[in-house]
Chain A
Amino acid sequence: MTVALSIVVDGIAYGMILFMISIGLSVTMGLMRIVNLAHGGFALLGGACAHVLTNSYGIPFIPALLVSVMAVVVLALPLERLVYRHIYRFSELEQVLATIGIVFIMIASVNLFLGSTLLPIRMPPVVSSPVDLGFKVLPLHRIIVILAGLAVVTALYLLVERTRFGIYLRASVDNQATAASLGIDTPKVYLAAFALGAALAAFGGILGAELLPIEAYYPLRYMVLFLIVVAVGGMGSIIGSFVAALSLGILDTAGRYLLPDIGTIFFFLAITAVLALRPNGLLVKSS
């Protein structure tokens, strides 16, 4: 019973991180139809920035987090306007190649300035203090991550379902040409969605640095994981990505706890089965 609870709590915390980093990827893939392999790079850049701010300048965690996320947005906006705008028109393969090139340059930049060692982010000591939930004692960090994940998914849900921007976004995802002909400024929607995705990746990357440690090769190392969340969740689906990220988090954690020898094999066999049965993702409407 205790083991089951541990698996669920750890798996959910892990899943929340996966969700926050992958959701931007899911939205850009669903909206712009672009295979953006550089998405994890935004988590890396956010994490590297937070590392510098907390360790070299001694800035407290919360302001460092906010500044890093803002810095990533400031970088993502011109990147979208100048580079990605052209990549949207490319064929799928050229997109893969172009975004791999961008990942390489991001990795090399971090490597040039900070080296290829682990880049820890200093958090206030209270974050690692244990909290007794009655049935289980776990670090405060896990609880913060879970709460942050819930806040993000709620905010995103409200943004997409309840605001004018959400209507524009959904219209552009469903049919870009029709949306544009109805007077929706789709390039601006693209820009906003791209920047939002990058910001969330940075946010998730920094919060999740304890589970997925930040280092120069981060975007390549975890690229497969993020893409799997998108594939299982279904491109462009927020709830799908959320369910997929939590299930994959729990599945992976369960595999590690219960079948330490063949956990990874089990994980990927499960992914294969899901994708073979639901090639468009768990919850996606069949088109």
Chain B
Amino acid sequence: MSANSTIAAARPQIRGAATFLPPIILLAGAFVAFWLFPYDLGFMTRILIMMVFVLSFDLILGYAGIATLGHAAMYGCGAYAAGLFAIHVSADPLLGLAIGAAAGALIALVSGLLLMRAHGLSLLMLSIAVTMVLQETASKARGITGGADGLTGISMGPVLGIFEFDFIGKTAFWYAFCVLFVILLVLRVVVASPFGLALRGIKDSPSRMRAIGTPLYRRKVAAYVLGGAIAGIAGALTAQITSLVSIEAFNFALSAEVMVMLVLGGAGRLYGALIGTLVFMTVHHIAAGIDPFNWLFVIGFMVLAVVFFLPEGLISLPKRLMRLD
């Protein structure tokens, strides 16, 4: 009885206007932003890429309930793989994305086989350790990765052989947007599929899921690999659009920021990830622009305010306002 209602509650976005409205709003928002802020295309492209990255973390943390602080590992591997692929093999962007996804998935698989056996604090620490090992390796392998100077000399061919990357960043903006859009649609299908429901079940009650015969470990590894592939795509996008991969792609601060953005927006909701990223990066950008020294106050108080007053994230704000309790 209660299991039925949970599944029914998990699937409402599949029917009715709710299916089409959010993607249309997203599309309209992109057009409006494109026309309103033609001089901030670079920054807005960064937001779009970060949205892809945070979405990948939402699948792992928000849906499967796997809390890690090393999500930058997959992002960095995707970025380096796509950068090296563009330099040495082919300048085609879409092939590069595929390579980035494969690299992210591969490192997620290798590390996930170990990580998904751990829980709580040791899982957090293990995921950090994996990222640190990768960062140090990239930093020492100067011959291949350029070490601390970063990987330079990436030049991309046109997207689909038609759209050249331009100086203002118009192509980059729409390229990143299309990738985000496709990934969002894919994730909507994934989280509503039996696999996605199993992940939610694992998050809410692992023992019950084990009792009904779900192989927890394999599902978690699968979720980690899928999230890793998407994170790799985000890294590849950064490499292709900025033509640079720096060692900071593996930074601990990046993993921590992704978690903050996700929980800020609302973990376990795809649009929560998007809203959290948009709000965090915009506030960060504006506050740092107004006062480059004290912007951290703004971020700190914003984060505290959300945790104390909107524990389900910014995405729950409209519902809270409607109820006004």
Contacts and interface: CB of A to CB of B under 8 A. Distances in A.
B122 A107 contact: no
Contact of B133 (A227, A230, A269): A269
Nearest to A272: B129
B221 interface: no
A272 B300 contact: no
Interface string B241-269: 00000000000110010011001100100
20 contacts: A90-B307, A90-B311, A92-B120, A98-B303, A100-B303, A102-B304, A104-B299, A104-B300, A105-B297, A109-B297, A220-B253, A224-B252, A227-B125, A228-B125, A231-B121, A231-B124, A262-B136, A264-B132, A275-B129, A276-B118
Interface string B275-312: 00000000000000000011111011111101110010
A111 B298 CA distance: 13
B11 interface: no
B130 interface: yes
Contacts of A104: 296-297, 299-300, 303
Main secondary structure of the interface of A (DSSP, over half): helix
Contacts of A86: 308
A101 B306 CA distance: 10
Given A97-B260, A220-B253, A261 B307 contact: no
Contacts of A109: 297
Contacts of A35: 121
Interface of B: 61, 67, 114, 117-122, 124-126, 128-130, 132-133, 136-137, 140, 252-253, 256, 259-260, 263-264, 267, 293-297, 299-304, 306-308, 311
A112 interface: yes
A275 B299 contact: no
A232 B129 CA distance: 12
A232 B118 CA distance: 13
A131 interface: no
* Ranked 8 nearest A-B pairs via Cβ: A104-B300, A101-B303, A108-B296, A105-B300, A101-B304, A231-B125, A108-B297, A279-B122
B82 to A, nearest CB: 23
Interface of A: 29, 35, 86, 90, 92-94, 96-98, 100-105, 107-109, 111-112, 116, 220, 224, 227-228, 230-232, 235, 261-262, 264-265, 268-269, 271-272, 275-276, 279-281
Contact of B129 (A102, A111, A268): A268
A36 B81 CA distance: 35
Contacts of A224: 125, 128, 132, 252
A284 to B, nearest CB: 11
B67 A97 contact: no
A162 B190 CA distance: 56
Contacts of A232: 125
A224 B72 CA distance: 15
